[in-house]
Amino acid sequence: MKENKSKYAILGILSLGPISGYDIKKVFQRSVANFWSESYGQIYPLLRTLVAEGLATKSIEKQVGKPDRHTYVLTNKGFEELQQWLIEPVQDQIGRIEIALKLFFGHRVKVADNIRQVEHFREMRGQELQALIAIEERLKVEHANKPNLPYMLMTVSYGQHVTQALIQWCEETLSFLSKMTAKPKKGIKGLTKKNVRGDKRRSRQSQ
């Protein structure tokens, strides 16, 4: 039904104050980078259409030595459209999860390969969690008593909860996988390239 999330993402940034396309990219990188991003190829054409639709106005600042700054300001209509989107319930879409896909076909490689994969994933999550904790601390200091601080913290908390859960999942999956290496049973024992390919013959109905 409703399309173009990028449009609303930009409307949201514009609601924070007058800003240029160049700076919009920076704001994305510095604030919502954990769960959202936009490229210039999206931003600049979209700003044009926002103006065409009467959701924003544009004014040009002359600068010495530097290129002109094209500054955009949200209109009332634009602000209302943003609000309308904000209260609309999110439609959940199935994201593509690469590690899950790889693990789904995990029996095509050695158990040790899967262990390595999950270990690497866990390390990345560990780093991510540390980063999210650092962001939380930074926000509390830099945005102290700003009205949107609570909302910023909620989004950081979202990331922390998910990342923490993934680390937990890694631990459980790793202990499960190491049990598989310890006592491999029929179909896993003596895993060779030839044996693995041999699965193909009896697999059409394994879906």
Q: Which 91-110 positions form the footprint of DNA (CB under 7 A)?
A: 96
Contact track, DNA, 46-75, x by CB under 7 A? -xx--------------x-xxxxxxx----
Please tell me whether residue 41 binds a second copy under the rule CB under 8 A: no
Cβ at position 29, least distance to DNA in Å:
11
Longest dimension (CA), the chain: 75
Of these, 41, 95, 150, 190, which contacts DNA (CB under 7 A)? 41
Please tell me whether residue 176 binds a second copy under the rule CB under 8 A: yes
Burial class of residue 164 in the structure, from the number of CB atoms within 10 Å of its CB (0-12 exposed, 13-18 middle, 19+ buried): middle
Cβ at position 41, least distance to DNA in Å:
3
Q: Write out the two tokens for 85.
A: 């989107």
Spatial distance between the Cα atoms of 124 and 178, rounded to a whole number of angstroms: 20
Cβ at position 38, least distance to a second copy in Å:
10
Q: Write out the two tokens for 139.
A: 């926000």
Q: At 49, phi and psi to the nearest 5?
A: -70, -35
